[in-house]
Amino acid sequence: MDQLDSLLTQLGIERDFDLLGHSWGGMLAADYVIQRQPPGLHRLVISSSPPSWKLLEESMLGRLEAFPAEFKEMVLKHEREGTFLSPEYQAAIQVFMNKHMCQTIPWPEELIATFASAAEDPTVSNAMLGSEQFLRTGSLTTWSVIDRLHRITCPTLVTNGTEEAAQDYVIAPFIEKIPNVKWVRFAKSHIAFFEDKEYYFKTIGDFLRVD
């Protein structure tokens, strides 16, 4: 949050800005607005983000349940045993991600580069989430803003995809508790700005341009 404040100041927009956070960024954005109440913020976009890590983990495990039983058991066995570098586990996670993370195949180069960068130095992601995909152990596992969402008073757009981990019931607290909120659902999974680029950016642009 301090880094975000510094960035806004460096850009000279701290008294006149909109804020969009996607995935983990949406978690940060929601908590930032709740805690800091930035006076220059006009509109907030929370894209494919949970208001509680517990809800997201529950949803991820639910998505895994839809795969064949042997697939699920193999994945969870590797997570329990910490064998994350197993080719079998890595291949299985890619299958899961192709359905629930990004359905644009092959993945865009920018997305591949992002994952490669995180893998090169996983210190921060491991501390926040752990090495696992489903049985998370990091510091964010107890994170939630559900009981504080009423403090987000600016116009807010919440988006998600029909086949991603941030399912409708996961983001429901945003819709129920933020006073001035709009909800848009996209047709595919977690990264709509790659999967349905034109509609995604039109949706965001239309929301930000409203007087």
pLDDT band at 104 (very low <50, low <70, confident <90, very high): very high
Q: Is the pTM of this model over 0.75?
A: yes
Structure tokens at 189: 């999974």
- Give the pLDDT confidence score for residue 23 in this predicted structure: 96
pLDDT band at 29 (very low <50, low <70, confident <90, very high): very high
Under a CB-based contact definition with an 8 Å cutoff, are residues 150 and 181 in contact?
A: no
Where in 38-197 does DSSP place strands (E)? Answer: 41-47, 156-161, 181-186
How many whole angstroms separate alpha carbon 101 and alpha carbon 108? Answer: 12
CB distance 161 to 188 below 8 Å: yes
Closest-CA residue to 148 (of 184, 169, 179) = 179
Q: Tell me the average pLDDT of the chain.
A: 95
Band of pLDDT at residue 133, cut at 50, 70 and 90: confident
Average pLDDT over residues 138-152: 95
Q: Both tokens of residue 70?
A: 């042997």
**Lowest pLDDT segment from 10-14, 90-94, 131-135, 140-144:** 131-135
